[in-house]
Amino acid sequence: MAQKVLQKHGDLEIDEDPGFQDVAWTAERVGWAIMLLLLLAAVAGVFGNGPFSRAQTRTPEGGLSVDYPRFARMESADELELRVRGDRRATVEIDGDFSRDFLIESIQPEPVAQRPHRGGVSLDFEPGPGQAEQRVTLHLRPRRPGFPIRAEVGLRGEPRVEISTFVFP
């Protein structure tokens, strides 16, 4: 077997490689910068749970506003906020594979009725006396990663609006 020739640094037999070491040091510093950017993005909410991770939309007729997570994480608690205008009983329908993609942990306040609806759910809400608007919070937990997961929300018989959530694994 060929004897490995060791490099020398002065009297020291050592496998130095100054060229490689310089490259590695540079790479380390680039890595630190990337880490900093990643963490700043995380604080902003790009990976869920931050100011940048929320998005708002409303149905074309304006009867329903939705505040939903644009970025979420799998198996991590999140929220979907509905604002239903009008002082009468209203039915909110969420289509798509909503029930399969999200675990609905709780709804506050509770709907007066809840039915399955084309892979999603249909929720009936009744406002208290004298209320012109209802705010409802759905506590959700994404069940699978999605790039993104799409669903459609709307009031019964009205046009839908699409919500899409990028779910990190």
Residues that bind other proteins (CB under 8 A): 32, 35-36, 38-39, 42-45, 47-51, 73-77, 168-169
Mapping DSSP to helix (H, G, I), strand (E, B) and coil, where does residue 133 land? strand
Separation CA 76–CA 145 (nearest Å): 11
CB of 145 to other proteins, least distance (A): 9
Comparing CB distances to other proteins, the nearer of 38 and 113 is 38
* 128 burial level (CB within 10 Å; 0-12, 13-18, 19+): exposed
Q: Specify which residues 156 forms β-bridges with.
A: none
Comparing CB distances to other proteins, the nearer of 122 and 164 is 164
CB of 104 to other proteins, least distance (A): 16
Comparing CB distances to other proteins, the nearer of 36 and 113 is 36
Separation CA 119–CA 86 (nearest Å): 26
CB of 4 to other proteins, least distance (A): 33
Comparing CB distances to other proteins, the nearer of 68 and 71 is 71
| Strands across the sheet containing 113-117 | 71-73, 161-168, 146-155, 90-94, 120-125, 113-117
Comparing CB distances to other proteins, the nearer of 33 and 132 is 33
CB of 138 to other proteins, least distance (A): 17
CB of 110 to other proteins, least distance (A): 22
Q: What phi-psi label fits residue 26: left (phi over 0), alpha (psi between -120 and 50 degrees) or beta? A: alpha
